[in-house]
Structure 1
Amino acid sequence: MDTRTFRHPAAVLLVTLFTGFSTPLYAIDYSFVEGRFLLDAEFDDVDDDGDGFRFAGSFQVTNEIFAFAKYDDVELDDSDVDFSLLRIGAGYIHPLDASWDANVSLAYADAEADGPGGEEDESGFELSGGVRGMVKPQIEVRASLNYLDIEDSDTYFTLGGDYYIMPNISAGIELDMGGDYETVSIGAKFYF
């Protein structure tokens, strides 16, 4: 019996197994749709809070460029005001290593408040810079510093983390804090 024919397939199998593990199964991806429940949204300007939802989507156009949209809708508890915030923009991705990216983005921003006193609509822009990384094979964390300029300027931090249930589905928590509009949210993302 010629053992050379068996050694070759076994060697190929071993090489494939070990090199396969060096490539992360769960990697940072900028093409997704997302739904979040805003459990606690606080507004310093009106001293009120509420809850609502956020829908977002992002598409990685090239290895370095992504386009995105986010829509927040919040109903305030005490003042009977509905607030919405739409952001549409693009960003640049700079890989730091195999597990971490830095990114910057610029977005058109439109805020609308609708209540007993009437409707108010203002627009401006949002500039963000941050990092995203995989701290464990199934755990992603992110942090960003954001500057929102709609009528008045506001600077806030975003901290978040997601657990990948499957390679294309994650769930997690996100905090927007330090500004006039602060949120705590839970949600899920589907990557495509």
Structure 2
Amino acid sequence: MQKRFLAAAILLPLSATAAAQNATGAPSYTYVQGTYTAYGHAHGVGKDYNGYGIKGSFAINPHVFVNASYDWLDVNDRNLDANRTSVGVGLDDFFDYGGAPGTGLGYYGQVSYERLGLQDVRCHDDASGNGFGVDAGLRWMVEPRIEINPHVGYVDYGNVDGDTNLGDANGVRYGVRVRGYVTPAIALSVGYRGSNASTDRRNIGFDNEVRVGASWNF
């Protein structure tokens, strides 16, 4: 019940503004993005990791969007690999606070299906969990070509089970990203993503990620 209330608390205030027209200068929610995780730390196993990711987002209308993402993560000096899948739907709006043209404060909230897959956890044992996520964030256009995107959320992967049982995995995730628009369609980004989510029994979690990326906006 508390988790459902958290999702409603994030999304319902945004739904009250969904009838408004899209504001000039609002960032696009229709894009494809590729990312490289240059550094991350897998606590519990004490190893660093890197990896790749892809994400796509589509604006159904000016205030409703859907998205999907997939990350491949490779733990250094271990056979352990991980993948994360997310499919979400959200609401967004944009506040023009009267600054320079192309500036303003965007905000959004979303709920999502989440999957965590772990390969070769112990020898050749695999495990996976399926659950949900709730996230909210800002898309602050500090000037027409610079966007700052702080975000925070909660993820629950459920029971991570398979060839071996690692127990429940859930926790808070958070981060910030800076995106620079080379053109209105092409953007480069750098960001940090943290999380305290980890499995109960072996404390396998993936956090403190530094990521760089590029996106094509439509």
- Same fold (TM > 0.5): yes
Aligned to 2:114: 109
Structure with more of its chain in strand, by fraction: 1
Distance across 2 between alignment mates of 1:146 and 1:117? 32
CA-atom RMSD in angstroms? 1.4
The answer to whether the Cα contact below 8 Å between 1:28 and 1:99 also exists between their aligned partners in 2 is no
TM-score (normalizing by structure 2)? 0.73
Distance across 1 between alignment mates of 2:119 and 2:169? 18
CA deviation profile, 1:98-129 (whole Å, cap 9, x unmatched):
62111101110011011134111111111101
Cα deviation for residue 152 of structure 1 reads: 2.1
Q: Percent identity?
A: 23
Cα deviation for residue 178 of structure 1 reads: 4.3
Aligned to 2:129: 122
| Secondary structure at the counterpart of residue 61 of structure 2 | coil
TM-score (normalizing by structure 1)? 0.83
Aligned to 2:91: 92
Bigger mean CA deviation after superposition, 114-123 or 68-77: 114-123
CA deviation profile, 1:34-82 (whole Å, cap 9, x unmatched):
0000001212232222111010010011111100011110110022111
Which amino acid counterpart does residue 133 of structure 2 have in structure 1? Answer: E
Which amino acid counterpart does residue 143 of structure 2 have in structure 1? Answer: K
Q: Structure 1: which 5+ residue stretches go unaligned?
A: 1-22
Aligned to 1:14: none
The 5-angstrom pairing of residues 34-53 of structure 1 reads 34-53=33-52
Aligned to 1:63: 62
Bigger mean CA deviation after superposition, 180-189 or 104-113: 180-189
> Which of 186, 189, 192 is the matching residue for 2:215?
189
Cα deviation for residue 157 of structure 1 reads: 1.2
| Secondary structure at the counterpart of residue 91 of structure 1 | strand
* Alignment partner of 1:152 is 2:152: no
